[in-house]
Structure 1
């Protein structure tokens, strides 16, 4: 066990969530610094805390990195040394299972649930375990698609992160081809480990998952494995708008695309971009302040 330290910053829920999303955009974030956000107490759901864990006392530069995640007033930080223990596991304690549609997302600390599609994601990957409203909303929407008769044979998950949504889609359509991509090359190993943990083979055949490191759709393998009849992109509003023409070119007529990572106030701009690219709205959910959109490409 190693020395461990924790930095805490308290603020309103939207402030912490915005900081967490901005953190996801930073390509060169130190992978050793784990951060997460959560309610302070259950009966005050709008009061949140952002926590960052370190294997040493955080330097002034590292504290400045956390401050840079906030737009405007920066919360007051507290820094404390913790008892010696596994600081990565400590950072994710309390990552309780979630139910989202037919899915039950859990860590190894919890047993699978009867009557659910169980997916295990390690505790050290808390921001990819479905706890954020965008990820949970995507899981619920995938379940809704299946309930409404969508049949998918070729799936792409763009910006896959931990691979959770790709794994979930393969649980619903187990004979499909599936290609997951992310701009961060660290994700390749994470996705491979999570696929193995959930008995999803890595490979290029039906019923298997192929992982690609790519910026958007800019990859020869992504292009070669298309066109897709289901494309998932839980990223951010600005890249969603930018990628609308590329997504249109990558999917079949009548295909479904699932978009998330956008706040409700950003929804009009995203929907306008996809309407211009030839998509129509099939269904929308709102989870917290976040919009989850299911669109269909016009035939």
Structure 2
């Protein structure tokens, strides 16, 4: 009997870069995971692009509610709502499908590869083996690469003794920090299945004793509070949640601490920074890869 995998529904919109944040807000309320990517129609990196916004859910989406919310926000912003596509994805092992398309990735000294890869990391690199499982995050996305590059630069300068990885997904960033400094790292995700995956990944990478993996909606889990103040906080999520969590981030960050923020488009930097500047945090560094920004901020 063939294996049966969880049903997954995909929501999809084709939008412009300018309208992307508007509809991202709707998807955040109606999907368990949200992602976005672009397709260059001109053949040059700065040419005309289509942006695709996708949401994934393990329960059937309420089309009427989603369309209504999209129409309301579109009207408030003086734009048209694009057609909404909803489809149930084929019942296949998406982990295996993703791994087949997941080549090893270098980001600074970090070398991230899937558990299916049979080679050896380059001499002098910090190898991270990832089994994505049902968690999102293979390290291929520009935001994860930006975070790893930012971490690599920080690791060469100063040790960080208490680390929080908020919205860890498969745990790449938390594992990378634990490997750099052999220090305690609290990793969180809103999805219990993701937390199981990241805990397994930490163990497989030899840093299980340093990583505490917990389910948490933002900073709400008491374990997160007990670990503060943090010398370093990763928050690779999306622009609007980054803005919403700015006061919590400031409250959990140690004096002299730094935070690495990502999951935002370059055009969303001003909005994200404005919310964190109100908390007394300033920009220390920025990395932009393929239109996605990674921000290093601190007091």
Same fold by TM-score greater than 0.5: yes
- The aligned residue for residue 57 of structure 1 is none
- Structure 1 stretches of 5 or more lacking a match? 54-60, 203-207
Distance across 1 between alignment mates of 2:122 and 2:226: 39
- The aligned residue for residue 58 of structure 1 is none
Report deviation, 1:276: 1.8
- Structure 2 stretches of 5 or more lacking a match? 75-80
Given candidates 155, 158, 169, the residue that maps to 1:161 is: 169
Report deviation, 1:131: 1.1
> 1:71-91: CA deviations, max 9, x gaps?
943488999989xx8564135
Distance across 2 between alignment mates of 1:194 and 1:23: 32
SS of residue in 1 equivalent to 2:234? strand
**Contact 1:89–1:123 (CA under 8 A) maintained in structure 2:** no
> 1:89-116: CA deviations, max 9, x gaps?
1354211111111111111232232221
Given candidates 160, 163, 170, the residue that maps to 1:152 is: 160
Report deviation, 1:184: 1.9
C-alpha RMSD of the superposition: 4.2
Distance across 2 between alignment mates of 1:81 and 1:27: 20
Scaled by the length of structure 1, the TM-score of the pair is 0.74
SS of residue in 2 equivalent to 1:167? helix
- The aligned residue for residue 282 of structure 1 is 284
- The aligned residue for residue 97 of structure 1 is 104
Distance across 2 between alignment mates of 1:239 and 1:165: 18
Distance across 2 between alignment mates of 1:179 and 1:80: 33
**Contact 1:236–1:261 (CA under 8 A) maintained in structure 2:** yes
**Contact 1:92–1:124 (CA under 8 A) maintained in structure 2:** no
**Contact 1:8–1:51 (CA under 8 A) maintained in structure 2:** yes
Distance across 2 between alignment mates of 1:274 and 1:171: 28
Scaled by the length of structure 2, the TM-score of the pair is 0.74
The equivalences for 1:191-210 within 5 A come to: 191-202=198-209, 208-210=210-212
The equivalences for 1:137-286 within 5 A come to: 137-147=146-156, 149-174=157-182, 176-202=183-209, 208-286=210-288
